[in-house]
Amino acid sequence: MGYQIVPSDNIVTKDTGLGISYTADGTKIFVSTRTDLQIARENLINLLLTKKGEIIMEPKFGSDLLYVLFEPNIEELKDVVVELITKPVEDWLSYIILDNIEVETAETNPDLRNSIRISITFSVNEAETDSITLLASDTGTLTVE
């Protein structure tokens, strides 16, 4: 008894997603991701919002960004934040190219008293880029804006 593999052109359609992203916009909970850049965006958000030690079988997965909430909000904190982003991305998502990381503190933006805004521009290839903005607020949360 043997099997024959028959190629099919209609396995992947334009409605087939490559992955899912979580959105809480009230219309859908999960939205299909259709490009490598969308998948990279979701993977980057998941990596940065996961605390190290939170995943049981992967205790080194994640970042320590949440802990910067308890550091003095001074100019030197920017270098620490950049390192807390670049190291996990190099270790876990090496296919993502970090083009720019901009850290705003209370010294650069007076509206951010007791908060830090982190803007990350990234790409998977040189053709297209995307960005995410994280806000480490005085409420003790790290959120995607």
Looking at residue 132, its amino acid is I
Asked if residue 20 belongs to a domain, the reply is: no
**Which one has a higher pLDDT value, 137 or 120?**
120
Q: What is the predicted pLDDT for the residue at 116?
A: 86
Asked if residue 102 belongs to a domain, the reply is: yes
Mean pLDDT, residues 78-95 taken together = 93
Please give the C-alpha separations between residue 136 and each of 53, 69, 85, 86, in angstroms, as whole numbers.
19, 6, 13, 17
Asked if residue 40 belongs to a domain, the reply is: yes
**Residue 106: alpha-carbon gap to chain centroid:** 23
Of 16-20, 52-56, 114-118, highest mean pLDDT: 52-56
Asked if residue 54 belongs to a domain, the reply is: yes
> What is the span of the domain harbouring residue 59?
36-144
Which CATH number is 47's domain given? 3.10.450.40
pTM of the model: 0.77
| Structure-token pair, residue 48 | 């940065």
